[in-house]
Structure 1
Amino acid sequence: MDNVSHDTKNINLTSVEVGALWNTYMVESLVHHTYAYFLKHVDDPDIKKFLKHSHDTTREHLKLLEALFKEEKLPVPRGITSEDINPDAPRLFTDKYYIYFEEHMSRFALTSYSQAYAQCSRLDIRELFKTQFVELLILVNQWVTEVALSKGVYIRPPYVPLPKEVDFVKRQNFFSGFFGEKRSLTVLEITHLFNNADTNSIGTTQMTAYSQVAKSKDIRDYFIKGRDLAKTFYKNFVDVLISENIPIPPSHNSEITDSIESPFSDRLMLFHVNLLSSAGLSSYGMAITGSPRNDLSALYGKAAIESAAYAKEGASLMIEKGWMEQTPTAPDRDELAKLVKSH
């Protein structure tokens, strides 16, 4: 089907498009500068290759976004800059951890880009997010997965015997989880438990490393609190899998070195942790809708409430430090009306 011609010069950006572009710039700036540091401390040539590709790709994305902001007469976000990294700091992570980091950040970006593409209407913006989505698919499927498989570090989700015929739910205890007989987990429930356990394993590692190098005590204490919270979530999710005799994802803490010199500013690390909290909240919401067993929905609900409280504390720290960039907002009509009355 041929594209319909659009004169984008006469079509203003919608609030959805402004928000998607702004959020993309912030995340891409984080990834770009984080990889600048990773590239200074990588030995494996295959891993270095995909880190270099990601670093170069995000640089081009940032240039494209910056030009778009200027063309639309929008302020370019500060985001994360070269001032937020110290590439000459000692190595903080092993090469192996870079694979897991790339995989999880790409998974987050794929979700963001697909949502942006579906919600945006201006042709050039849709094309931008479609291109970025396809580039990430190639990176994740052809590079990250293949490299992980070739290095023997790919984490496969659990296998279950395949069904031989179509079946239907016959009893109301399909929803039971607190009392009486529990049914076995569905494959969708296993997916959510395994993925959320793996994500919290990554979160535990990330915040353990950040707490090891953070300069400010209040930021360091916040990371320690987040580390312990992620460890609790990980244990809660894997305990369910273990009780059902299903394999669990591993811990990644052995991929952190003993360095105490920070390669990142406290601002960068706090921004990243807030991003992880937001991603966790979204994941728990999806898990609730995909987990009919009421003990699981309660587990995810509790995790969501605790994650929301932790994220709010992190946002308050960002504001207190003067680090939180404000997302573009709609005008306050009531305040504008007051200004008119005062003249």
Structure 2
Amino acid sequence: MEKDKLKLTSSEIGTLWGEYLNGTAVDIVNRYMVSIIEDEQIKAIFEDAIKTFEKQKQQIVTFIKNEGFPVPIGFTESDLFKGKPRLFTDIFCLNYLHIMTLHGLLGHSTSLGVSVREDLRFFYDSCDNDGKRMYHQTIDLLLEKGNFQRDPLFYPAKNPEFISSQDFIDGFFGKGRML
């Protein structure tokens, strides 16, 4: 079978549809946030995210239209209520973008995993690269501003320890232990 004549599978169409709907939802939130953010460094990252998705959105629309499917409605400018009072701090917005970037990375990897057509695989590779770039930017800026919440540290014991009793299973079969 000639790979340049492959039709998109139901999984591939489904991932494009999902990418479009999720992307337009996040894009509207990003547009709201960029309208309220005062910190120029944070605003620049959001503006980059908006431009990045616009590029991806155009590619998704091309894929969908070329297969003869209607383009999903998604979220549009009519869903953005400009001029509303500020709801979030700049740091909250940056944390939101960081978390949404993590979700995007997971979504792109999943979409890549069900994609056979080469052009679609390259598209998801590109989306993944954009996501990784955004991931690094958000962490770096959160660290610079002293607002990145790291996982708790774990301090190793000096020597290995062996279990000498079965007290750790109390509660499953016995009296339980106090918190």
Tell me, yes or no, whether TM beats 0.5.
Answer: yes
* Structure 2 residue aligned with 1:23: 18
Given that residues 16 and 60 in structure 2 are in contact (C-alpha distance below 8 angstroms), is that contact kept between their aligned partners in structure 1?
A: yes
Residue 160, structure 1, aligned to residue 154, structure 2: yes
Partner SS for 2:131: helix
Residue 59, structure 1, aligned to residue 91, structure 2: no
Question: How many angstroms apart in 1 are the aligned matches of 2:162 and 2:78?
Answer: 58
| Structure with larger RCO (C-alpha < 8 A, sep 6+) | 2
Given that residues 111 and 124 in structure 2 are in contact (C-alpha distance below 8 angstroms), is that contact kept between their aligned partners in structure 1?
A: yes
Partner SS for 2:35: helix
Given that residues 3 and 117 in structure 2 are in contact (C-alpha distance below 8 angstroms), is that contact kept between their aligned partners in structure 1?
A: no
Deviation at 1:30, TM superposition (A): 0.8
* Structure 1 residue aligned with 2:125: 130
The AA in structure 1 aligned to 2:117 is R
Given that residues 13 and 64 in structure 2 are in contact (C-alpha distance below 8 angstroms), is that contact kept between their aligned partners in structure 1?
A: no
Q: Superposition pairs for residues 194-343 of structure 1, below 5 Å?
A: none
* Structure 2 residue aligned with 1:150: 144
**What are the superposed Cα offsets for residues 117-151 of structure 1, whole Å, 9 maximum, x if unpaired?**
1221111111111111111111112x100111111
* Structure 2 residue aligned with 1:109: 104
Given that residues 173 and 181 in structure 1 are in contact (C-alpha distance below 8 angstroms), is that contact kept between their aligned partners in structure 2?
A: no
Q: CA 1:166/1:139 → structure 2, altered by over 3 Å: closer, same or farther? A: farther
Structure 1, unmatched stretches of 5+, are: 1-5, 184-242, 244-343
Q: CA 1:92/1:124 → structure 2, altered by over 3 Å: closer, same or farther? A: same
Question: How many angstroms apart in 1 are the aligned matches of 2:97 and 2:47?
Answer: 12
Question: How many angstroms apart in 1 are the aligned matches of 2:75 and 2:175?
Answer: 51
* Structure 2 residue aligned with 1:83: 78
* Structure 1 residue aligned with 2:3: 7
Partner SS for 1:22: helix
Q: CA 1:13/1:91 → structure 2, altered by over 3 Å: closer, same or farther? A: same
**What are the superposed Cα offsets for residues 235-263 of structure 1, whole Å, 9 maximum, x if unpaired?**
xxxxxxxx5xxxxxxxxxxxxxxxxxxxx
Question: How many angstroms apart in 2 are the aligned matches of 1:17 and 1:171?
Answer: 53
Q: CA 1:50/1:165 → structure 2, altered by over 3 Å: closer, same or farther? A: farther
**What are the superposed Cα offsets for residues 41-85 of structure 1, whole Å, 9 maximum, x if unpaired?**
111011011001001111111111111111111110001010111
Q: CA 1:114/1:182 → structure 2, altered by over 3 Å: closer, same or farther? A: farther
Q: CA 1:11/1:89 → structure 2, altered by over 3 Å: closer, same or farther? A: same
Question: How many angstroms apart in 2 are the aligned matches of 1:74 and 1:176?
Answer: 59
Q: CA 1:170/1:77 → structure 2, altered by over 3 Å: closer, same or farther? A: farther
Partner SS for 1:106: helix
Question: How many angstroms apart in 1 are the aligned matches of 2:166 and 2:121?
Answer: 44
TM-score by length of 2: 0.87
User: How many residue pairs get matched?
Assistant: 177
**What are the superposed Cα offsets for residues 217-245 of structure 1, whole Å, 9 maximum, x if unpaired?**
xxxxxxxxxxxxxxxxxxxxxxxxxx5xx
Relative to its length, the structure with more helix (as a share) is 1
Q: Cα RMSD (Å) of the superposition?
A: 2.6
After TM superposition, which residue ranges in structure 1, 4 or more long, deviate above 2 angstroms?
162-183
